[in-house]
Amino acid sequence: MPALLAAENVGCRARGKQILDDVSLAIEARDFVTLIGPNGAGKTQLIKILLGILPPSEGKVVRQPGVRIGYMPQDFVPSVALPLTVRRFVQLNHARTAATKAAMEAAVEATGIQPLLNALLSDLSGGERQLVLLARALSGDPQILILDEPAQNLDLAAQQNLYRLVQDLYQTRALAVLMVSHDLHFVMAESRRVICLYQHICCSGTPRKVASDPHVQKLFGAPLAQLMAVYPHAGKGGTHSHAHVRTSEPRR
């Protein structure tokens, strides 16, 4: 079966700078892929290219015909000059059919935003706004849910609640998830596949494989080393924990 969404040798240049170089990846049905990398690695640009918001400078993006994609952006600050209610925001750009109404009602229920429906978007707290954005992403009954740093600027409790909700949605709905995240603990615990991006793809694979890659350890340094010190590995002698030595420079 062809991938739902794929990048083939994608490159991106802006203001004379190479932001992405020869990036290829595919999102299959029921995938849970997490995209990691340092600031400036090109993660958000890649997401926007996959969505068709930005055109690639090289390569191409292939989408399965009719594929439904829900997108939760990294930054969203509603204007106080626009008195938009949560209900109206979730309904925007959706045809008023029985199917879309059912999908929106399911999204509202899944995210628990019923008490917020009549509130103004500009009056919400950060955590409430993220839940509304997630409901909006789910309202079209997507086959792929794309999340760009969904827990950014949330406190620890709100981060945990949001990540738990994403995992529940993945387990209960027939959808694929592509998420940009800096939360390595969540990446190691929940992702089926991790892709490390630093203009190009440094490495990809299972969380355990990526966490032990020297390129990734060099990019993330101490935080990853601390995580690896307690991250369990199944080896010949059973489960054990260890840290890996950081070696070699990533290609720039």
| Residues 8 and 24 sit within 8 Å (Cβ to Cβ) | yes
Q: What percentage of residues in the chain have a pLDDT greater than 90?
A: 53
DSSP character string of 115-154: GGTTSBGGG--HHHHHHHHHHHHHTT--SEEEEESTTTT-
CATH architecture for the domain at 1-67+143-210: 3-Layer(aba) Sandwich (3.40)
Q: What percentage of residues in the chain have a pLDDT greater than 70?
A: 87
How confident is the model at residue 227, as a pLDDT? 59
- For the chain, the average pLDDT equals 84
HSE (side-chain half, CA atoms, 13 Å) at 67: 25
Does the predicted model carry a pTM greater than 0.75? Answer: yes
| 157 — pLDDT class (breaks 50, 70, 90) | confident
pLDDT higher than 50, residue 248: no
C-alpha–C-alpha distance, residues 48 and 38, integer Å? 17
Token representation of residue 223? 């935080």
Domain ranges for the chain, please list them: 1-67+143-210, 77-141
